[in-house]
């Protein structure tokens, strides 16, 4: 336990994203714990942060965040902190001079090949294109064996090379376990039973999560700067697990993104929320137009181009066997470190969607609450 004269906390939580903020809320409201939450960024909400830019257009700073889940209990939990608006996400892919629905569906096939297939014929078409691969090892094998080489090259090869900086033939098959293709005209990107966006945005949702008087929030504060100054019993760490241990086993590799935000003097830029650019002729992977996601009416519109890079904030753990192994070794160190709980996408070195992180935080709370009940009985 660390001591300072400034008062003591039951929990110090590093990171005000979904993982840290959900746990802070539960610990404060359910167990009456005193919690300090810090974040090195100048704002709450982690990567889900949204705000009104200088032109008054509502944007997501770290790329499009679309809430979708099949878990009623996650929706029930978050509904205490926000109202919702329905939003079904749609994505088009720019292929040659056409913008076609992705995941590949009946419309995609008819547009690309100038055909008039029905559902049965589309299924037959895909089967006839598939190229059997005897031993499926890589991401390329998965896609080629399901939709054939031509569609693989149109939609997957270039996009994956840009996204990961690796050819699909170098990525494990688990990265693309299944290629979602549809033979009907359903053009929704997700099929989850809940496809909704927080009505007033993610940042407003987080303000409500963190509003409890037992929660003290400090922004623009790095854990390193306060680790020996704040007086706490237990640490919840949602930052990068390798950073916590001073990278002593080596750095866990991440793919990073550079976001180029632009506001345009026109009401609409593109026909849907996201357009993907699979071709390697352009350096970005996709363009997002936020007004589709937020429902905002405004005479201007804001878009974000995403450029994958090796440098910058950690976004996507790189799914390769040697990285999973390195993470396992950090996890062993974490298990041998009493008084600290690691979670969230950076603490778990795992790409999680928001609903999954909320689920992980709620499960961690249950675990801590049981330990707390045990302590009280002791």
Give the residues lining the site for ligand FAD (CB under 6 A).
14-20, 38-41, 46-48, 62-66, 222-223, 238-239, 257, 315, 344-346, 352-355, 357
Q: In whole angstroms, how close is the CB of 49 to ligand FAD at the nearest point?
A: 8
- Cβ-contact 319, 346 below 8 angstroms: no
Output phi, psi for 2, to 5 deg.
-100, 145
Cα–Cα dist 34/189, whole Å? 41
Cα maximum dimension of the chain: 75
Q: In whole angstroms, how close is the CB of 136 to ligand FAD at the nearest point?
A: 28
Relative orientation angle of helices 106-113 and 119-129, to the nearest 10 degrees: 70
Nearer to ligand FAD, 124 or 222 (CB): 222
Nearer to ligand FAD, 172 or 313 (CB): 313
Q: In whole angstroms, how close is the CB of 269 to ligand FAD at the nearest point?
A: 19
Nearer to ligand FAD, 16 or 179 (CB): 16
Nearer to ligand FAD, 33 or 89 (CB): 89
Q: In whole angstroms, how close is the CB of 221 to ligand FAD at the nearest point?
A: 6
Contacts of 237 (CB under 8 A, 6+ apart): 14, 15, 223, 244, 340, 341, 342, 343, 347
Q: In whole angstroms, how close is the CB of 91 to ligand FAD at the nearest point?
A: 11
Cα–Cα dist 165/195, whole Å? 31
Is the preceding omega at residue 110 within 30 degrees of 0, hence cis? no
- Cβ-contact 299, 57 below 8 angstroms: no
Nearer to ligand FAD, 106 or 361 (CB): 361
Nearer to ligand FAD, 185 or 193 (CB): 193
- Cβ-contact 256, 308 below 8 angstroms: yes
- Cβ-contact 4, 226 below 8 angstroms: no
CA-based Rg of the chain, rounded to a whole angstrom?
A: 23
Q: In whole angstroms, how close is the CB of 215 to ligand FAD at the nearest point?
A: 15
Nearer to ligand FAD, 200 or 243 (CB): 243
Half-sphere exposure of 366 (CA within 13 A, CB side): 5
Q: In whole angstroms, how close is the CB of 243 to ligand FAD at the nearest point?
A: 6
Q: Is 155 exposed, middle or buried (0-12, 13-18, 19+ CB in 10 A)?
A: buried
Tokens of 119: 């559902």
Nearer to ligand FAD, 129 or 261 (CB): 261
């Amino acid at each position: 336990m660390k001591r300072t004269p400034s008062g003591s906390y039951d929990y110090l939580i590093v990171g005000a994203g979904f993982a840290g903020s959900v746990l802070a809320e539960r610990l404060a409201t359910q167990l009456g714990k005193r919690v300090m939450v810090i974040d090195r960024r100048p704002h709450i909400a982690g990567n889900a942060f949204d705000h009104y830019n200088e032109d008054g257009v509502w944007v997501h700073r770290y790329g499009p965040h679309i809430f979708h889940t099949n878990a009623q209990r996650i929706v029930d939990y978050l509904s205490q902190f926000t109202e919702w608006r329905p939003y079904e996400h749609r994505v088009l892919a720019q292929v040659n001079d056409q913008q076609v629905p992705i995941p590949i569906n009946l419309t995609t096939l008819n547009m690309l090949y100038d055909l008039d297939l029905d559902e049965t014929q589309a299924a037959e078409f895909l089967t006839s294109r598939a190229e059997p691969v005897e031993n499926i090892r890589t991401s390329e094998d998965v896609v080629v064996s399901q939709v054939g080489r031509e569609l693989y090259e149109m939609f997957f090869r270039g996009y994956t090379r840009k996204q990961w900086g690796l050819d699909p033939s170098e990525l494990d098959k688990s990265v693309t376990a299944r290629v979602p293709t549809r033979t009907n005209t359903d053009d929704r990107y997700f099929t989850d039973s809940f496809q909704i966006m927080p009505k007033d945005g993610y940042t407003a949702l987080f303000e409500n999560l963190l509003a409890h008087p037992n929660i003290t929030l400090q922004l623009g504060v790095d854990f390193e700067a306060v680790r020996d100054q704040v007086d706490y019993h237990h640490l919840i760490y949602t930052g990068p697990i390798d950073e916590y241990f001073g990278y002593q086993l080596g750095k866990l590799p991440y793919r990073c993104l550079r976001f180029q935000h632009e506001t345009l003097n026109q009401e609409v830029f593109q026909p849907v929320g996201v357009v993907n650019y699979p071709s390697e002729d352009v350096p970005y992977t996709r363009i997002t137009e936020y007004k589709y996601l937020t429902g905002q009416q405004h005479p201007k519109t804001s878009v974000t181009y995403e450029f994958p890079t090796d440098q910058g904030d950690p976004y996507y753990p790189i799914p390769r066997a040697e990285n999973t192994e390195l993470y396992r070794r950090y996890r062993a160190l974490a298990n041998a470190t009493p008084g600290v709980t690691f979670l969230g996408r950076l603490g778990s070195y795992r790409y999680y969607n928001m609903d999954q992180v909320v689920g992980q935080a709620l499960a961690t709370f249950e675990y801590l609450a049981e330990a707390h009940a045990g302590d009280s009985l002791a």
